[in-house]
Amino acid sequence: MNRDDTNGHARVLMVMEGPYPPDRGGGAEAQVRTLTRAMHQRGIHVAVVAPLAEHAPQAELAHVDGVPVFRLRYPRLRLIGGPALWLALARFLYRHRDDFDVWHVHVARQWGVICAWLGPWLGKRVVIKVSGSWDLDRGALSPDSGWRGKLVRRVLMRADAWQAISQRIAATLLSRGVPQARIAAIPNAVDSARFLPPARPSLHPPRFLFIGRLVREKGLPTLLAAFADIAPRHPEATLTIVGTGSQRANLEADVQALGIAERVTFTGHRTDIEDLLAQATIGVLPSRMEGLSNTLLECMASGLPMVASRISGNEDFVHPGENGWLFEVGDRNGLAASLLAAASLDPGQWRAMSESARAAVVRQAGLDGVLNKLVALYDDEPAPVAAAVPNRSV
């Protein structure tokens, strides 16, 4: 394998199936940006390839944080747009076969298939990241994917390595036939220097914060109902909901019906996340499904104890009684009990949980540590082994 002459590391192409960077953020896109910025600062040769999608900058070649971004043009027409884009990617990979040693694909879908198919023929190391439940339960890796899915899975299995961002994902990959030696347990990264715990103005009244898309998967109706349940016990507690999505009107109607409109604020899309974290005292993530939420990592890096559902990713970082609380998905009473416990912390308890939250994230998902593991994976060194966990679907 050829190497970048400047530092001896592999030259990396990040493969994004969605717009990059998108106009309103996105978990996978935000993670790629965090990683590529840090890699560029280390002097690692890295670039990004993505579609020239509608909701993204329209330049076919640009630089984001000093990193080259190639955007592939394709006809935005039903039925032919997808296949045309696959051909565009295959053509790009072949034309740039001498420019990169590793293709890191950030979703196990169509572009992952193209890379896994071409990679062995062109002598490229292919790393596929599995980000969550869609890939495992609805896509080609689903146990009920049919004959087409089985054919696609056979191609995907040509990949050299699989990045599992949670222990639950790692266990599920193993159960779906991915060899354990190819599974690397490497979480998403958080820039802990960016999210240093601020000097918060006060710890009371309790100020709960949710950041994410306002969609069904985030479990927000349960959060609003549980917050209404504890509101009489803590009449000064507030809840801030940051983000946009298709469920906003329904959620605003729920707030009115529950009688908590004066206590809940919908901010819409915001870019000043650090300021919002500084004003909060407790992070909340009631999602029904995740891979590993960037919001979880950012909240904990900022020193926020977390109230989170017991799902993939959350259970790797939130340790009940130490840095937060876990409740079962959709359990209104369990969520309300967790919110009540969080709102009742005294300052000493809160500070201990805050310090534990940040320590867990820095230890497990600090940017430098994650990047070191990825670079080793690119260089084909032994990967971190996933811990033994129950084999549960994400």
Q: pLDDT tens for residues 79-127?
A: 888 899 999 999 999 999 999 999 999 987 889 999 999 999 999 999 9
Which residue range is the domain that position 49 belongs to? 12-189+367-378
Average pLDDT over residues 71-77: 90
Dig out the tokens for 25 from the structure.
């953020």
Query: Confidence band (pLDDT; 50, 70, 90) for 391?
Result: very low
Task: Indicate whether 88 and 221 sit together in one domain.
Answer: no
Give pLDDT, residue 280.
Answer: 96
Q: Does position 199 have pLDDT exceeding 70, yes or no?
A: yes
Compute CA distances 22 → 46, 78, 103, 217, 256, whole Å.
Answer: 19, 21, 21, 20, 32
Q: Does position 24 have pLDDT exceeding 70, yes or no?
A: no
Give pLDDT, residue 389.
Answer: 46
Task: Indicate whether 67 and 35 sit together in one domain.
Answer: yes
- Find out whether the peptide bond into 22 is cis, omega within 30 degrees of 0: no
Q: Does position 54 have pLDDT exceeding 90, yes or no?
A: no
Q: Is 266 within a domain?
A: yes
Give pLDDT, residue 101.
Answer: 97
Task: Indicate whether 18 and 71 sit together in one domain.
Answer: yes
Dig out the tokens for 350 from the structure.
């809160």
Q: Is 120 within a domain?
A: yes
Task: Indicate whether 263 and 283 sit together in one domain.
Answer: yes
Residue type, 85: L
Q: Does position 46 have pLDDT exceeding 50, yes or no?
A: yes
Q: Which residues, in sequence order, are CB contacts of 161 under 8 Å at separation 6+?
A: 125, 126, 127, 128, 182, 183, 184, 377, 383
Task: Indicate whether 252 and 111 sit together in one domain.
Answer: no
Query: Confidence band (pLDDT; 50, 70, 90) for 393?
Result: very low
Compute CA distances 111 → 87, 283, 321, 344, whole Å.
Answer: 10, 34, 42, 48
Task: Indicate whether 232 and 141 sit together in one domain.
Answer: no
Q: Does position 1 have pLDDT exceeding 70, yes or no?
A: no
Task: Indicate whether 228 and 89 sit together in one domain.
Answer: no
Task: Indicate whether 280 and 338 sit together in one domain.
Answer: yes
For the sheet containing 282-285, what is the strand order?
Answer: 264-268, 238-242, 207-211, 282-285, 306-309, 324-327
Compute CA distances 346 → 206, 276, 281, 350, whole Å.
Answer: 11, 22, 12, 6
Task: Indicate whether 117 and 238 sit together in one domain.
Answer: no
- Total domains, the chain: 2
Task: Indicate whether 181 and 245 sit together in one domain.
Answer: no
CATH of the domain at 94: 3.40.50.2000
Q: Is 197 within a domain?
A: no
Q: Is 256 within a domain?
A: yes
Q: Does position 47 have pLDDT exceeding 80, yes or no?
A: yes
Q: Is 387 within a domain?
A: no
Helix (H) or strand (E) holding 13, with range, is strand 12-15
Average pLDDT over residues 133-153: 74
Task: Indicate whether 22 and 113 sit together in one domain.
Answer: yes
Q: Is 3 within a domain?
A: no
Q: Is 199 within a domain?
A: no
Dig out the tokens for 52 from the structure.
């020239």
Q: Is 389 within a domain?
A: no
Name the pTM for this structure: 0.90
Query: Confidence band (pLDDT; 50, 70, 90) for 144?
Result: confident
Give pLDDT, residue 136.
Answer: 78
Average pLDDT over residues 199-225: 93
Query: Confidence band (pLDDT; 50, 70, 90) for 137?
Result: confident
Task: Indicate whether 175 and 36 sit together in one domain.
Answer: yes
What's the pLDDT tens digit per position in 258-315? 999 999 999 999 989 999 999 999 999 999 989 899 999 999 999 999 999 999 999 9
What interhelical angle do 294-301 and 347-365 show, nearest 10?
130
- Find out whether the peptide bond into 21 is cis, omega within 30 degrees of 0: yes
